[in-house]
């Protein structure tokens, strides 16, 4: 752990609301020069909003940000960058088709002669060396590098901006352990140069292993800033969730026994993402895959839906084999998939609601290849009712709906179809407000009650506890545990953020 020096970054009473949502209120903490400072909290705690305020993407409603004692008005990303704040985002912004050198110069504010490739060469070389990329050629296309190395190029680029504060938002979420180690080494090297580092992570093991102190947020407020030396995974989880009586998932009477399994998956693997995943699912139940970004939950769903060509393993629906990597075969077998990206992978935003709901069931609403008005209208009325949408608006474009209602249309397409046996949903309520979320939960529960098998992924404890009959936790591509009976929120969070307990941890 690096020694920490004078306080370099200071955040005081930072506050930000979106409409009636108080995303962050009264948040205060400091980061010393040379310190690796973690920012933790469960979903919706306010971490991203703090990061956005520090990096100039959101303007605080109140409060102050100081770097090196100077109070800063970081009203745009460029201003934040000029003030010495560099952000390495969850989504990499490096460009695969450019060379490493070109990527390092992207977005550099000191454009001009200094950045011309030849003049900049030695400086760029030093940046790469600093993050452990001494073996990488500046003129190599970025596409030749692995995902971990691209993450390091991104960090090197941020350093090239002469950052005083380097913010890393879940930098290892999708990396392997080996790749993550390179990132840790780079982060330690950067801290050793006296910069302040804010490290946002859901992986509590790495927080304890890498960082000096951790600030935990809950419901928009800072709970505490503590030296990691005095913390354990469990004490961090208590800070994240509070001491209040922990919610238990209530048994619904849907025990493990019951009707024969409809979906059987065994030995499902996706190189580098999912390792040896097996599951048997019965009809009439709601199953959840609980896992953070990088847990493999999303890839499992996509692989079962036939959308991952490189997936291997056995998938059977009602005893009939469905070859991985064949989406049409999966659909024919009765598997429907709702992705987590309704905008680019599902809805036609400028088409009417009716069209979006019925496009996937044309055979049921046509006669001799022509749309049968009567059938169309009957199916539409039924589906609009099933989704809890306003029937009078079915001619409106999907774009005109709120996010929650758009998601209802997206989910609704898989409902009420006799040919769908298994409904897979990747994070079905992401970005949906509380009311919309409850409505989607009702839709999914009803679908299960009518005999469908529902399997969804989520990172939200409340959603897992409210909706699922069975919760399967995943961490770094493997199943941690299957919970058929009652389970408490902190147990799920521990398994999602840290994986299986070691024998020593079990004994404690
Ligand atoms: N642009 C926005 N408009 C409306 N509400 C928002 C917006 N951004 C964030 N929120 C709300 O503010 C609260 C804090 O969200 P934030 O994204 O900062 O949390 P987080 O700790 O980063 O969560 P996660 O780990 O899930 O990313 C949440 O209730 C969220 O729904």
- Residue 440 inside a domain? The answer is yes
Q: How many CB atoms lie within 10 A of CB 77?
A: 15
What CATH number corresponds to the domain at position 167? 3.40.50.300
Which range is least confidently modeled, 44-48, 95-99, 455-459? 95-99
Strand order in the sheet with 453-458: 335-338, 422-426, 453-458, 286-290, 470-475, 478-483
Dihedral through CA 492, CA 493, CA 499, CA 505, nearest 10? -90
Where is the domain boundary, 211, 241, 271? 241
Q: Are residues 365 and 412 in the same domain?
A: yes
- Would the CB of 32 count as within 6 Å of ligand 1? no
| 130 and 160 inside one domain | yes
User: Which range, of 142-156, 281-295, 302-316, 402-416, averages the lowest pLDDT?
Assistant: 402-416
Q: Does the residue 508 lie in any domain?
A: no
The answer to whether residues 93 and 29 belong to one domain is yes
For residue 48, how far is its CA from the centre of ligand 1 (angstroms)? Answer: 7
**48 touches ligand 1 (CB under 6 Å):** yes
- Clarify whether residues 172 and 277 are in a common domain: no
* pLDDT tens digit sequence for 194-219: 999 999 998 898 999 999 999 999 99
**Same domain, residue pair 228 and 274:** no
- Looking at the fold, whether 235 and 286 belong to one and the same domain comes out as no
Which residues are bridge partners to 264 per DSSP?
A: 280, 316
Residue 22 within a domain: yes
* Contact present, 167 and 85 (Cβ < 8 Å): yes
30 HSE (CA, 13 A, CB side): 12
Domain count along the chain = 2
**Same structural domain, 212 and 271:** no
Residues 267 and 237 in one domain: no
> Is 45 close to ligand 1, i.e. is its CB under 6 Å away?
yes
Residue of 24, 25, 44, 404 with the most ligand 1 atoms within 8 Å of its CB, for mutation: 44
Range of the domain at 215: 7-241
The rounded percent of the chain whose pLDDT value lies above 70 is 90
130 in the same domain as 24? yes
User: Ligand 1 in contact with 394 (CB < 6 A)?
Assistant: no
Distance 448 CA to ligand 1 centre (A): 30
**Predicted ipTM beyond 0.90:** yes
Verify that 191 and 281 share a domain, yes or no.
Answer: no
Q: Which residue has the higher pLDDT, 339 or 57?
A: 57
Tell me the sheet residues that pair with 67: 9, 70
Q: What pTM, to 2 d.p., does this model score?
A: 0.77
Q: Does residue 395 sit in the same domain as residue 435? A: yes
CA 53 – ligand 1 centroid, Å: 12
DSSP string for residues in 90-135? SS----TTSBHHHHHHTT-SS-SGGGSHHHHHHHHHHHHHHTT-TT
């Amino acid at each position: 752990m690096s020694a920490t020096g004078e306080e370099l970054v200071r955040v005081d009473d930072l506050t930000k609301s979106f409409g009636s949502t108080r995303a962050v209120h009264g948040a205060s903490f400091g980061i010393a020069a040379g310190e690796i400072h973690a920012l933790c909290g469960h979903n919706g705690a306010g971490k991203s909003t703090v990061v956005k305020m520090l990096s100039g993407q959101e303007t605080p409603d109140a409060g102050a940000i100081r770097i090196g004692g100077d109070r800063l008005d970081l009203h745009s990303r460029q201003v934040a960058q000029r003030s010495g704040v560099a952000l390495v985002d969850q989504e990499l912004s490096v460009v695969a088709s450019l060379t490493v050198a070109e990527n390092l110069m992207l977005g550099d504010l000191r454009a001009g002669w200094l950045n011309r490739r030849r003049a900049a060469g030695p400086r760029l070389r030093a940046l790469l060396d600093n993050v452990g990329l001494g073996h990488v050629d500046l003129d190599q296309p970025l596409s030749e590098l692995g995902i971990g190395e691209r993450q390091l190029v991104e960090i090197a680029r941020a350093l090239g901006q002469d950052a005083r504060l380097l913010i890393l938002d879940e930098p290892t979420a999708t990396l392997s352990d080996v790749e993550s180690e390179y990132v840790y080494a780079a982060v330690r090297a950067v801290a050793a140069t006296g910069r302040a580092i804010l490290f946002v992570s859901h992986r509590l093991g790495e927080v304890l292993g890498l960082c000096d102190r951790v600030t935990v947020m809950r419901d928009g407020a800072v709970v505490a800033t503590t030296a990691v030396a005095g913390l354990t995974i469990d004490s961090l989880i208590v800070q994240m969730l509070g001491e209040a009586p922990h919610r238990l998932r209530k048994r619904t009477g849907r025990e493990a026994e019951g009707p024969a399994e409809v979906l059987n998956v065994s030995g499902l693997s996706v190189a580098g993402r999912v390792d040896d995943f097996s599951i048997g699912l019965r009809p009439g139940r709601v199953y959840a895959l609980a896992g953070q970004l990088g847990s493999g939950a999303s890839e499992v769903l996509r692989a079962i839906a036939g959308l991952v060509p490189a997936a291997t393993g056995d998938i059977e629906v009602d005893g009939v084999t469905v070859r991985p990597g064949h989406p049409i075969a999966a659909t024919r077998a009765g598997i429907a998939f709702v992705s987590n990206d309704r905008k680019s992978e599902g809805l036609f935003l400028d088409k009417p609601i009716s069209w979006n709901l019925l496009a996937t069931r044309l055979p049921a609403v046509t006669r001799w290849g022509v749309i049968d008005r009567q059938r169309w209208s009957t199916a539409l009325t039924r589906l609009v009712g099933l989704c809890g949408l306003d029937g009078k608006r079915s001619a409106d474009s999907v774009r005109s709906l709120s996010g929650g209602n758009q998601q209802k249309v997206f989910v609704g397409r898989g409902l009420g179809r006799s040919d769908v046996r298994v409904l897979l949903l990747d994070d079905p309520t992401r970005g949906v407000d509380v009311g919309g979320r409850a409505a989607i939960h009702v839709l999914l529960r009803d679908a299960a009650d009518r005999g469908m098998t529902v399997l969804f992924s989520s990172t939200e404890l409340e959603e897992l506890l409210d909706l699922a009959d069975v919760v399967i936790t995943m961490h770094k591509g493997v199943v941690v545990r299957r919970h058929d009976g009652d389970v408490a929120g902190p147990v799920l969070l521990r398994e999602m953020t840290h994986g299986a307990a070691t024998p020593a941890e079990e004994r404690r």
